[in-house]
Amino acid sequence: MKTEMGKKVGKAAAAAAFAVLAVQAANGATSAQLTVRGYMPVQCKLDFSTAMVSPGQAGRVELGNVREFCNTNNYRILVDYDSAVLSGSRLALGGDEVKLGNSGTDVVTYGTQPTVRTRPISLTLDGALQTVTTISVRIEAAI
């Protein structure tokens, strides 16, 4: 989405480049070169929200969907959790799966190209859940 200011700056830059080419052509130049550069900031966003859920059959918990957006070739998706409660459980995000360890944070997947997609997320518990707990997922671009 372009802002009004961005449109004006773009038009001004194009007009200036045309003016330079016109001056060179008027001076008898036989060739011209126009270089246009742009800047796109790296943006990554992960949308995930779910209500309180309970384990289903075989300790599987359907957590909902994660909407993933990242405009760079190098990023990762991480999960944060209470390792005292969830260590040994398995988190699945679409076709990617990770066994939760003792650290409280694990990498679920690495992205290697710009992506916009929605994927299901679920948790398979290693044992009976003894207390209420939370998990969160986040995305990080490697710049």
Query: How do residues 51-80 score in pLDDT, each as one tens digit?
Result: 677 777 778 889 999 999 999 999 999 999
The full length of the chain comes to 143
pLDDT tens for 21-50 read 454 555 565 677 888 898 889 999 999 877
Please enumerate in sequence order all residues whose Cβ is within 8 A of that of 50, keeping only pairs 6 or more positions apart, or say none. 63, 64
How many other β-carbons are positioned within 10 Å of the β-carbon of residue 89? 21
pTM: 0.70
- The predicted pLDDT at position 46 comes to 95
How many other β-carbons are positioned within 10 Å of the β-carbon of residue 93? 21
Helix count (H) and strand count (E) of the chain? 2, 8
